[in-house]
Amino acid sequence: MKKYFTKLAMTMIAFTSLLFMGSAISNNNVHADANDNFKQVYTVAKSKLGSPYIYGATGSNAFDCSGFTGYVYKNSLGVRLPRTAQAQYNASTKVSRNNLQKGDLVFIGGSTASIYHVGMYIGHGKMIDAQNRGVVKESIKAPWWNVVGYGHVDD
């Protein structure tokens, strides 16, 4: 009987180890995919640095904020985003500041019900966005706006 329990315990340990190893491999692939996706999205985004801001413009030579994020995702990953910053917020998967990843969207407004600006997080507290100075990289923290949320774009 003691042999049976020893074999059972060894089998359970082996099975549990395989589960954890498979989970780690799966998580590494998800992380690698996210990095690859960000590289594609960021390549398109930074190619538009300096493009002028025009209200209502969706590219390829001029943008408004949501026109820019929509253009970038469409032309990098083939993902179509809703047209306005508010609609992009509504359609995104919400993430906390602590879980913010490169490529996630940064939403600015009076509240989550009155979003008027969107940019794409690029790491180190910065985003790339289209605003009155054109397409620029800038801090997500600025005294003249209020970050009201972050969203992940599902592809």
Bridge partners of 128?
120, 137
Extract the tokens encoding 133: 């100075």
Catalytic residue among 33, 65, 124, 152: 65
Q: What is the DSSP string of the chain?
A: -HHHHHHHHHHHHHHHHHHHHHHHHHHHHHHHHHHHHHHHHHHHHHHTTTPPB-TT-BSSS-B-HHHHHHHHHHHHH-PPPPSSHHHHHHHSEEE-GGG--TT-EEEEESSTTSEEEEEEEEETTEEEEEETTEEEEEES--TT--EEEEEEPP-
Catalytic site includes residue 65: yes
**Catalytic residue, candidates 117, 124, 152, 154:** 117
Can 152 be counted among the known catalytic residues?
no
Catalytic annotation, pick one of 31, 36, 104, 129: 129
User: Is 31 tagged catalytic?
Assistant: no
Residues classed as catalytic: 65, 117, 129
